[in-house]
C-alpha cells in the first residue's frame, strides 16, 4: 500500500481533546487517514475509541484541536454534515429494520422514485437491481432483493451496511467493531469486504480491540490508551504481541511487576 506516498491525507485530526465536564475522554489525539488505506484504531474498553469516532463523524464537537478534511478545516455541526462531506459510520447496531427487505434497508432515507401521472412512487425495480448488483460485488448472493434483513447472518448484515455507505458516496468509512460479535467464517467475510472497499480508494477506519482481525487487513495501526495515542505503526513494523501489549498498558504492567518483585 503506497497511498501515503502518492496522496495527501483525506482526514487529519490534530491535537483533539474532548472533555465531558471534568472527565477528559480524549487528551490530545493526533491521527491522519489516507485514501485507500485501512487504518486500524485499537484500544480496550474505556480507551476513548467511541469518543474518537464520534468526534470524527460529527456527533461530538472537539473541545480543542482541529479536524482537516481534504485539506480544509471542518466544523461539523452534526453527523449529517459529516455524511454530506463523505464520512460514513457503520455502528455495531447497524440501524436496520429486520422485517424489511434488503433493498428497502439499502435505500432507507435515499429512496429512488419514479413518476407515474405526476405522482412519485418508490422505484422498486431500480432499488432491487442496484441492491443485487452491489451485494454481488461484495460477495453476498441474496436469494432475492426482497429477502428480509433479519434472515441474513451478522456478517452479511455488516456487508449490507458497508455496501450501502459506499454506494452513497463514502470517501471515509468508519467501522465500529464490525467483527466483535461474529464467528470465524462471518469475520472472514467482513474482513474480505473491508479489503474490497480499501482497494476502491476509500479510506477505512477500522475500530477494534481484536489484534488478529486488525492485522489481517490493516495498513497502519494506532493504539488508543486512556484517551491518548501511543503512536502509529505501519504493517511490518510491529508484531501482534507488541500491539496487544500497548493496548493493555503493557508498560504499566512491567512497572507493577517490578514493584511487586515479579509476582504479577
pLDDT digits (tens, 9 = 90+) for 5-38: 457 899 999 999 999 998 889 988 999 999 999 9
The CA-based angle 23-180-30, given to 5 degrees, is: 45
CA distance 146 to 138: 18
Q: Band of the pLDDT at 260, cuts 50, 70, 90?
A: low
Residue 255 reports pLDDT greater than 70:
no
CA 79 from centroid of its chain's CA atoms:
14
**Which residues face 13 on adjacent strands?**
31, 67
pLDDT for the residue 249: 66
SS3 content of the chain, % helix, strand, coil (to 5): 35, 30, 35
**Residue 246 neighbours by CB under 8 Å, 6+ apart:** 42, 223, 225, 230, 231
Cell of 208: 477494534
Q: What percent of the chain has pLDDT over 90?
A: 34
Domains belonging to the chain, first-starting first, are: 3-95+172-259 (3.40.50.300)
Q: How many CB atoms lie within 10 A of CB 203?
A: 26
Q: Which residue has the higher pLDDT, 217 or 76?
A: 217
- Interval 186-214: pLDDT, tens: 899 899 999 999 999 999 999 998 999 99
Contact 7, 17 (CB under 8 A): no
Q: Band of the pLDDT at 244, cuts 50, 70, 90?
A: confident
CA distance 153 to 141: 12
CA distance 37 to 201: 8
pLDDT for the residue 2: 46
> What average pLDDT score do residues 42-60 get?
87
pLDDT for the residue 18: 92
* pTM recorded for the entire structure: 0.84
CA distances, 3 to each of 21, 34, 97, 169, 192 (Å): 39, 7, 37, 20, 19
pLDDT for the residue 264: 42
Residue 122 reports pLDDT greater than 70:
yes
Amino acid at each position: 500500500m503506497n497511498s501515503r506516498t502518492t496522496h495527501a491525507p483525506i482526514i487529519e485530526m490534530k491535537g483533539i481533546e474532548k472533555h465531558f465536564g471534568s472527565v477528559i475522554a480524549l487528551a490530545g489525539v493526533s491521527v491522519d487517514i489516507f485514501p485507500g488505506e485501512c487504518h486500524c484504531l485499537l484500544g480496550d474498553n474505556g480507551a476513548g475509541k467511541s469518543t474518537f469516532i464520534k468526534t470524527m463523524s460529527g456527533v461530538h464537537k472537539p473541545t480543542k484541536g482541529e479536524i482537516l478534511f481534504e485539506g480544509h478545516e471542518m466544523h461539523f455541526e452534526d453527523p449529517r454534515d459529516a455524511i454530506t462531506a463523505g464520512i460514513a459510520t457503520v455502528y455495531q447496531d447497524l440501524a436496520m429494520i429486520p422485517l424489511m427487505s434488503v433493498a428497502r434497508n439499502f435505500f432507507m432515507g435515499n429512496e429512488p422514485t419514479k413518476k407515474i401521472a405526476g405522482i412519485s412512487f418508490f422505484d422498486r425495480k431500480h432499488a432491487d437491481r442496484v441492491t443485487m448488483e452491489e451485494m454481488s460485488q461484495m460477495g453476498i448472493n441474496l436469494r432475492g432483493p426482497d429477502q428480509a434483513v433479519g434472515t441474513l447472518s451478522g456478517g452479511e448484515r455488516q456487508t449490507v451496511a458497508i455496501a450501502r455507505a459506499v454506494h452513497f458516496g463514502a470517501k471515509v468509512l468508519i467501522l465500529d467493531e464490525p467483527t466483535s460479535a461474529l464467528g470465524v467464517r462471518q469475520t472472514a467475510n467482513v474482513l474480505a469486504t473491508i479489503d474490497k472497499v480499501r482497494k476502491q480508494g476509500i479510506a477505512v477506519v477500522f475500530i477494534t480491540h481484536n489484534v488478529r482481525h486488525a492485522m489481517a487487513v490493516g495498513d497502519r495501526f494506532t493504539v488508543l490508551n486512556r484517551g491518548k495515542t501511543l503512536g502509529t505503526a505501519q504493517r511490518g513494523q510491529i508484531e501482534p504481541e507488541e500491539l496487544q501489549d500497548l493496548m493493555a498498558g503493557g508498560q504499566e504492567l512491567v512497572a507493577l511487576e517490578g514493584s511487586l518483585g515479579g509476582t504479577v
